[in-house]
Amino acid sequence: MTVDTNTVVSLQYKLTNHQTGEHIEETSENHPMEFLYGVERIIPAFEVNIHGLKAGDRFEFSIPSAEAYGEKQDDHVAIIPISVFFDESGKIDETQIKVGAILPMTDNEGNHLRGTILEISPENVTMDFNHPLAGTDLFFQGTILEVRQATADEIAHGHSHGVHGGHHH
């Protein structure tokens, strides 16, 4: 069976920065990435590059940042009053609120975001809400481990239910 719409794909890969070679992420045969192909839950260019492959096929391709997580956008950097981060005692938890920390946040419309703290001053916290890989050209190397037909439940739910078919919503 080949990778196509409504198939569940299991694969292992190594992801690096295409420009610098810096290691970003890696999965393994024991802990593969598994997903329902064709439901727009992963980078579309990734799906294009593995379309038609079958179990045992190796792949190697790059995806420019514009087709992955986009370019870094200055308007995704926000300056937030430090008081937003105060606990009940009027202080910040310095083990959690520190430069480089990635925090879950909610915007004015109730959307859930993740931001990286860039700077902390006595008055404000500067946070970057760009995707951590925005501006990064990606390079993938890996192997397709398994391709199977998705079940009706998986197609209805829009995601794979794993090797053993169980899942929790």
* Rounded-to-integer distance, Cα 129 and Cα 16, Å: 22
Give residue 163's pLDDT.
58
Q: What is the CATH number of domain 7-69+134-157?
A: 3.10.50.40
Determine how many CB atoms are found less than 10 A away from the CB of residue 39.
Answer: 17
| Range(s) of the chain covered by CATH 2.40.10.330 | 74-128
Global pTM reads 0.80
Give residue 169's pLDDT.
43
Q: Does domain 74-128 have CATH number 3.30.70.20?
A: no
Question: Which residue stretches of the chain have pLDDT < 50?
Answer: 164-169
| Range(s) of the chain covered by CATH 3.10.50.40 | 7-69+134-157
